[in-house]
Homo-oligomer: A and B are copies of this chain.
Amino acid sequence: MVELDRADIALLRAMQKNNRLTSEELAGVVHLSPTACQRRLRRLRSEGVIEGDVSIVSPKAVGRHVTMIVMVSLERERADIVDRFKAAIRNTREVMMGFYVTGDADFMLVVTARDMEDYEQFTRRFFYENHDIKGFKTMVVMDRLKASFAIPIEA
User: Residue-by-residue, is A15-55 near B (CB-CB < 8 Å gives 1, otherwise 0)?
Assistant: 11111100000000000000000000000000111111111
Given A93-B152, A98-B145, answer yes or no on A57-B51 (Cβ-Cβ < 8 Å): yes
A110 proximity list for chain B (CB < 8 A): 99
List residues of A (99-155) whose CB comes within 8 Å of B's CBs. 99-105, 108, 110, 112, 137-154
Given the known interface contacts A103-B140, A137-B104, A149-B149, the answer about A20 and B53 at a Cβ–Cβ threshold of 8 Å is yes
Chain B residues, Cβ within 8 Å of A150? 54, 93, 96
Question: Is A54 within 8 A of B89, CB to CB?
Answer: no
Contacts of A1 in B (CB 8 A): 60-61, 63
Give every chain B residue within 8 A of A53 (Cβ-Cβ). Answer: 18-20, 53-56
Whose C-beta in chain B lies nearest to the C-beta of A105? B139
The 8 Å CB contact of A142, one of B12, B96, B100, is B100
User: A153 touches which one: B57, B100, B104, B153 (CB < 8 A)?
Assistant: B57
Inter-chain contact B61/A49, CB cutoff 8 Å: yes
Besides A1-B60, A96-B151, 14 other CB < 8 A contacts? A1-B63, A12-B55, A12-B57, A15-B55, A19-B53, A47-B61, A52-B56, A54-B149, A54-B150, A89-B145, A97-B148, A99-B139, A99-B147, A101-B141
